[in-house]
Structure 1
Amino acid sequence: MKTVVWVNGRLVGESEGTLSALDHGITVGDGAFETCTLVGGDVFALTRHVARLRRSLQGLGLDLTPDDEARVRAGVEAVRAAAGAVDGRLRITVTSGVGPMGSGRAPSSFTVVVAAQAGVMAAEGRSVRSPWTRNERSAVVGLKTTSYAENVVALADAVARGGDEALLANTRGELCEGTGSNVFVEVGGELLTPPLDSGCLAGITRELALEWGTEAGLPVREAVLPFAVLDQVTAGEAHLVVTSSGRNVQPVTWLDGVPVAAGPLSLAARELFDRLHRERLDP
């Protein structure tokens, strides 16, 4: 399946020119986005994703009006219908629209882009500790913005070292998140994930893993974790999981060049999420 793309009200070709060269999403990364899982052509957890999109835009000083949200949902429906009954990913991008070449904004209507492509999630992941940190006091902390250069650089470094995700500490030396994922550590008989004040994104998969895990009786909760807890993973004393819409709940079986085992709680959480995300389409 080719990528299906919808821009501001119409389906377009993958390489068709559709955005202004002065769109602030291109010139300064002034926008927000969501990546949703496609399950047999249906969009998983769309209500939660749209709510987080609204929060990210508000954090940027932009308000998603009911009419704007209707445009987003119209784009999602058009792309979903064109993509057909596939498993994969659907991305919603909203920018502040056309603006000046500097950082200042001019009044403009939002640019809305929705795109989808088929894909298969890997059952296991390979992670690398990043030499860079996440700033938990950033002006855009916790917002899923299109200003993604830090993540691009960190992920490219991880890929060059044999990984498919980079794990970042925050400036306090605590475990924070991946470039496009949240992280859980199975240690001491519990599955632990950093709290939101660590600077990590409030991931939808993270949120549901906590909710569904608790519901199923798994010992899963938030906890402050030192970045050095990853030494316990490579030593075989703990286990690692990353979560995202592109991964679901994915045990890590290779960390910094060291093969590591998936833990029993990690595997149970993966099995639970894999089952429930197909049974509960919009939790």
Structure 2
Amino acid sequence: MGIEGTVAWVNGRLRDPAEPVLSALDHGLTVGDGVFETCGVVQGRAFALTRHLRRLQHSALGIGLPAPDEALLRDAVAQVLAAGTGLGRLRITVTAGLGPLGSGRIPGEPTVIVLAGPANPPDVVRVVRVPWVRNERSAVAGLKTTSYVENAVALAHAQSQGADEALLANTVGELCEGTGTNVFVERDGEVLTPPLSSGCLGGITRELVLEWGAQAGLPVREALPGELPYTVLDDVAAGRAQLGLTGSVRTVAPVVALDGAAVTTGPLVAELRALYAAREPQDVDP
């Protein structure tokens, strides 16, 4: 995917997206010392921006960076969205700024980047199981950091198998999440998503599906610890359960294939997808 249609704002002003703007010593580049958020763009606005900025602050504080300047970020987002057309995805990145070649930090100004560009999310998803696990006891468990190479490796493996996403267990054999998605399991007349204690990211779409689904009277909830073992995917393969994935750009998407074999889709996941599609344009910053 190229940079056509991308709008960039870096450290105070709009830039040509092809312009070199980072120092070779930016700690976000040398050691992945930064945090980020990705929002969908709905009706020309960043969807659920307040929630995303709250999580960005949580992630920054979680890795020991100062809380980002919310007013600055909101202004940058407004500039970027005003400067582009056909935008579907917005990303905010904050790094520790200049740093040494090692992991230590030096005091200084953060690097702040806001990008927006087109998005063409799929309506359905094909997933695979992978041999790697998410460490639910990691120092960055549940934080959205720029140290994303584990996800890149797992996703590349999935794509090499003809899939769109990889599903990860955690170190104790529980279903955790995808590389960039939360997972929902439909079985026995309800829809469950792994608890945050599994090490999964507290996704904004996940959060809204739980809230909006409960408000609509749909049987959707966070699973109890240990209630969704990774082996629940065997039930999916056998047709006894179904899957849906959530993310800020794809919203709610049913899974139609697991490990290269077609699987059934669930009616409750379809209801949640329809509910989200109806609610999203009604309140762009819920």
> Could you tell me the TM-score, scaled by structure 1's length?
0.97
Aligned to 2:35: 32
- Give 1:9 shift: 1.0
Aligned to 1:237: 240
Rounded Cα–Cα distance in structure 1 between residues aligned with 2:280 and 2:258: 27
Aligned to 1:171: 171
Rounded Cα–Cα distance in structure 1 between residues aligned with 2:127 and 2:92: 26
Given residue 248 of structure 2, which amino acid in structure 1 is its aligned partner?
Answer: S
Aligned to 1:62: 65
Aligned to 2:275: 272
Contact kept in structure 1, 2:129 and 2:259, CA below 8 Å: yes
Aligned to 1:71: 72
Given residue 201 of structure 1, which amino acid in structure 2 is its aligned partner?
Answer: L
Given residue 71 of structure 1, which amino acid in structure 2 is its aligned partner?
Answer: L
Given residue 235 of structure 2, which amino acid in structure 1 is its aligned partner?
Answer: Q
1:135-214 correspondence to structure 2 within 5 Å = 135-214=135-214
* Unmatched runs of 5 consecutive residues or more in structure 2: none
- Give 1:58 shift: 0.4
Tell me the percent identity. 61
Contact kept in structure 2, 1:40 and 1:87, CA below 8 Å: no
Q: Note the alpha carbon deviations across 1:95-141, whole angstroms, 9 max, x for none.
A: 01011111000001111000001122211001111110000000000
Given residue 105 of structure 1, which amino acid in structure 2 is its aligned partner?
Answer: R
Q: Specify the SS of the correspondent of 1:93.
A: strand
- Give 1:73 shift: 1.4
Aligned to 2:285: 282
Rounded Cα–Cα distance in structure 2 between residues aligned with 1:87 and 1:237: 39
1:103-114 correspondence to structure 2 within 5 Å = 103-114=103-114
1:80-95 correspondence to structure 2 within 5 Å = 80-84=81-85, 86-95=86-95
Rounded Cα–Cα distance in structure 1 between residues aligned with 2:119 and 2:60: 28
Given residue 259 of structure 2, which amino acid in structure 1 is its aligned partner?
Answer: D
User: How many equivalent residue pairs?
Assistant: 280
Contact kept in structure 2, 1:127 and 1:254, CA below 8 Å: yes
Contact kept in structure 2, 1:136 and 1:199, CA below 8 Å: yes
- Give 1:71 shift: 1.8
Q: Specify the SS of the correspondent of 1:266.
A: helix
- Give 1:247 shift: 1.1
Structural RMSD (CA): 1.0
